[in-house]
Amino acid sequence: MPVRTLSDLRRGDEGILDRLEIADEVAQRLMELGFLPGVRVSAGRPAPGGDPMIFRVDGSEVALRRATARRLVLRDSAPAGEAGDNA
């Protein structure tokens, strides 16, 4: 299954952040803004031209360039054994 990132989200879509695959100093700043593993992130409106993209995280709206959003990896939708597995 291909890796999903924040840049794959469309307006109104949500995802759970899994990890930040970006330089430490940039990751630190993003974490200060609320982009922490395990946090739900939703896609808002794109800026004119589509870049940057607006994301809602921890009650705030934050604009990220698509290149940055591609480095923030989302969790798989349903980990193995959890999707409708009532055994």
Q: Give the pLDDT confidence of 30-57 residue by residue, as tens digits.
A: 999 999 999 999 999 888 887 899 999 9
Question: What is the C-alpha to C-alpha distance for residues 28 and 34, in angstroms, rounded to an integer?
Answer: 10
C-alpha torsion 9→14→19→20, nearest 10: 50
**Bridge partners (DSSP) listed for residue 16:** 40
Question: What is the C-alpha to C-alpha distance for residues 13 and 73, in angstroms, rounded to an integer?
Answer: 14
The CATH number of 6-74, from 3.10.20.340, 1.10.3720.10, 3.40.50.720, 2.30.30.90, is: 2.30.30.90
- pLDDT over threshold 80, residue 81: no
